[in-house]
Every structure is written in structure tokens, then in C-alpha cells.
Structure 1
Amino acid sequence: MYLAISRLQVMSGKENEFETAWKNREQETHGVKGFKKFNLFKGEVNKEFSLYIFHSEWNNESDFINWTKSNSFQLAHKNPTLEGNLYLGPPDFDGYVGLPDFEGFKVVI
């Protein structure tokens, strides 16, 4: 198993707008070789931002890398949201072979 994980800081007060945009986004992973599932977790909340972790689960790292080189990937990432004022910077990416510990987080989508 391979997990592609990104952390994103959403500005305080913009959480509902972000979650709505995320739920309504176009997903370009249906039928993609090796793709298993996708989750969005909401974590730490403070006065400045709410931390979200989104991850996709793949059969292996090669399947994920192949997807990142595909037209499906380009379509999925062409416009994450139309509202550019939701984030405190770009996502922070990590990839994991196996399952990391998400203690303290809850699945929101």
C-alpha cells in the first residue's frame, strides 16, 4: 500500500467554504490503475487556520507516480478551487509505504 498525503492550512473562518469546494470538485481517479480510496481529515484548529490532511491510497508507489504523469492528474489539479483566498500557502506533500498514525484526526469527507 502507498499513501499520498498532503497537509493544507485553511484560513480560520473559511472551513465551510473549503469543505464545500472539496466535496464539489471533479474527481479524476475513477478507473485509474492502482487507486483505492481518498479521505479528507480535519485536525488542529487555532485562531489562524484549520489543518486538513487529504490522502489517496494506492496499491503501490508506482501506480501513484504513473497517475501523476497522466492527463487525469492534470485535470484533477488544474484548479483546486476557484477561491484562492482559502489557504495559508500551498499543500505540504509526503508519501508513505504502509499506514501512518492519524491519532487526533477525524475523517470529514
Structure 2
Amino acid sequence: MFIAMNRFNVIKGCEEAFEQVWLSRDSQLEKVRGFVEFHPLKGPEADDHRLYASHAVWRSRADFEAWTKSEAFRAAHQKAGGNKPLYVGHPQFEGFETIQTVSGNKSVSG
């Protein structure tokens, strides 16, 4: 599995607007091969912002990379530029290869 995350430092006072962007968007993810699940995450507060992260689980890095080159990706991100006033700086991407999955009472490596 591959986990793709983006971190956003959302300006204080803009949290509700930022959350609404994520909750109302047409992500197109459920139509994409290899997509497993997505979680928008709300993190801790700092003096001038609140940390948010998008957390997407993919079957493989190759499936994630194929999505980033797809029409579904372009459609899901067509309005993304309009949201920049809601956060400080640029989103920070982080990609992770899964080395173990623990689910319920079982553990799987790889």
C-alpha cells in the first residue's frame, strides 16, 4: 500500500471555509483504480494556524501516480488555486510506502 498526505497550515479563522472545501468537493477518487480510502484530518492549533492533512490510501505507488496524471485528478483539482488564501504557504506533500498493516487482530507485513 501507499499513503499520500498533504499538510495544510490553515489560517486561524479560515478553518470552517477550508473544511467546507473538502467536504463539498467532487474528489473523483471512488472512480479511480487502486484507490482504497481518504481521510481529511484536523490537527493541532498553533499561534497563527491550524494544521490539517489529507490522507489517502492507495493499493500501490503506481496507482497513486497514475491518478495524478489522470483526467479525474485534473477535475478534482480544477478549483484548488482559489483556496490558497485559506492557508499559509504551500501544501506539503508526503508519500509513504506501507511496511506493515495492523487491522483488528491481525498483522500483515509489506
Pairwise same-fold verdict (TM > 0.5): yes
The 8 Å contact of residues 26 and 76 in structure 1, kept in 2 or not, is answered as: yes
Distance in structure 1 (CA, Å) of the matches to 2:75 and 2:68: 11
Matched residue type, 2:16: N
Where has structure 1 moved over 4 Å in runs of 4 or more? none
Q: Deviations over 1:20-63 (max 9, x none)?
A: 12101111112210001100111120220000011111000000
Match in the other structure for 1:88: 88
The 8 Å contact of residues 3 and 99 in structure 1, kept in 2 or not, is answered as: no
Q: Name the stretch that deviates more: 80-89 or 59-68.
A: 80-89
Distance in structure 2 (CA, Å) of the matches to 1:51 and 1:99: 26
Higher relative contact order (CA 8 A, sep 6+): 1
- Normalized per residue, which structure has more strand? 2
Q: Count how many residue pairs are aligned between Structure 1 and Structure 2.
A: 100
RMSD (CA atoms) = 1.7
- Considering only CA atoms, is the larger Rg found in Structure 1 or Structure 2? 2
Listed as ranges, the gaps of 5+ residues in structure 1 are: 101-109
Q: Name the stretch that deviates more: 26-35 or 81-90.
A: 81-90
The 8 Å contact of residues 21 and 81 in structure 1, kept in 2 or not, is answered as: no
Q: State, as a whole percentage, how many aligned pairs show the same letter.
A: 35
TM-score w.r.t. structure 2 length?
A: 0.83
Listed as ranges, the gaps of 5+ residues in structure 2 are: 101-110
**Residue 61 and residue 44 in structure 1: after superposition, are their counterparts in 2 closer, same or farther (change >3 A)?**
same
